[in-house]
Amino acid sequence: MLQSSLQVEREILRDTTLSVGTMWTHGVHLISSSAYDLNLMPLTGTTAYITCPPGATQVPCNGPQVVLPNLDSGMLQEGRINPNLGQINALISPGINNYNSLFIQLQRRMSNGLALQAAYTYAKNMMSNGVDFSNQFDFSNTHAPYLLDQRHRLVISGIYQPFVGKRFESPFVNGLLSNWTISTVMLFSSGRPYAALLDNACTTYNASNGSSSLGTIPLDQLNCVGAGSSLNDSAVNQSTSNSALGINGAGPSPVVGLNSFYGPWTQQIDLGLARQIPLTERQSITLQVQTFNLLNHANYYVQNGNGVNPVQYLPVGNTCGDAQSQNQTCYLVPEPGFRQLQIINALYGPRVFQFSLKWNF
């Protein structure tokens, strides 16, 4: 890992400081899989993916076509090094990760007990060379946003002591209004990326009427066969079942790049209220109330196929994932629920109240 940062800070006005800086990290040999079969023979076959238009009700269909290597689990054969040996696994770490960011921070202190700070960060986190892969024989399509990529992040914080330095004629009023502190931290950040996947619950379909050919059969008359296999994903077919990092055991969509979709923005506003009560010259008690996610805003955790439906297409075809045909054809039927949020995964959670009592001595 190599890391570098540069920051320039200057007081532009009295009690007002502006900071501008950058940070970058470069990581190599990142572990991406613990099961890399060196004895697998690269396949010579192909899989043609034909994208059906939205609302398609039958196959075959006409649409854009992408041709990729055939990585059907039934077609992967041992023998690249020695036909007498089976699987030869090796720990590999070919990945490269690059993080670059630019941040701006403004701090302002005021004489009336108010201090404010705002910081904005624009960052880009990219991976390549097999940090996440679906084809262990070719890492050329693995240049994509990293799962922790977060382009925009804005943090606003403030602290206010409303009666600091003020004295009232009444000792009772002084005791009642002094030593109060109000603070807040507000976070607004863009969503993280996730990969579009092919449905791995069923990769092969046939006609429910017993026909050996799909023909122009409505999709609701298809039966699922070969459930549980994973289409076009060699990593998941290893004996240890270790798939690549973000693919999560399912074949990535061949139509779009890896991690091309982003989850929704997140926001959290926290508020704190504290009161210090002097007991003696050296002792005091501090009562504090803290509210997290004050507005009870729903923040969905969307990453690595969690918190959202990542299945973009349903692969359908007579030879699609049949583990027999060298040259296969898969019709990609759009999944209606693609990108729909799932409430079961939430980030930061609901509104939380926290009460604390501290004795200083």
Q: What per-residue confidence (pLDDT) applies to 123?
A: 97
Q: What is the pLDDT of residues 145-201, one digit of tens each?
A: 998 899 999 999 999 998 877 777 787 777 788 889 999 999 999 999 998 888 765
Q: Where are the domains of the chain?
A: 2-269+297-336
Q: How many Cα atoms sit within 13 Å of 219 on the Cβ side?
A: 17
131 CB-contact burial (10 Å; exposed 0-12 / middle 13-18 / buried 19+): buried
Write down the number of H helices and E strands in the chain: 1, 25
CA 122 to chain centre: 17
Containing 198, the helix (H) or strand (E) segment is strand 197-198
Q: What is the pLDDT of residues 15-46, one digit of tens each?
A: 999 999 999 999 998 766 656 778 888 878 89
Tell me what the pLDDT averaged over the chain comes to: 83
Which pTM does this prediction carry?
Answer: 0.81
Output the DSSP codes for 1-45. -EEEEEEEEEEEETTEEEEEEEEEEEEEEE--EEEEETTEEPP--
Q: In this structure, what is the dihedral angle of CA atoms 193, 197, 200, 205, given to the nearest 10 degrees?
A: 160
Give the residues across from 100 on adjacent strands: 24, 124
Q: What per-residue confidence (pLDDT) applies to 225?
A: 53
Q: What is the pLDDT of residues 266-303, one digit of tens each?
A: 999 999 999 988 888 889 999 999 999 999 998 888 88
Q: What is the pLDDT of residues 202-247, one digit of tens each?
A: 545 555 544 444 555 555 555 555 544 555 555 554 444 444 444 5
Q: What is the pLDDT of residues 42-101, one digit of tens each?
A: 878 898 999 999 877 778 889 999 998 887 777 778 899 999 998 887 777 778 999 999
Q: What is the pLDDT of residues 89-111, one digit of tens each?
A: 777 777 899 999 999 999 999 87
What is the C-alpha separation between 219 and 202, in angstroms, rounded?
13
Q: Which two tokens stand for residue 78?
A: 């041992």
pLDDT interval class at 317 (50, 70, 90): confident
Q: What per-residue confidence (pLDDT) applies to 269?
A: 96
313 CB-contact burial (10 Å; exposed 0-12 / middle 13-18 / buried 19+): buried
pLDDT interval class at 336 (50, 70, 90): confident
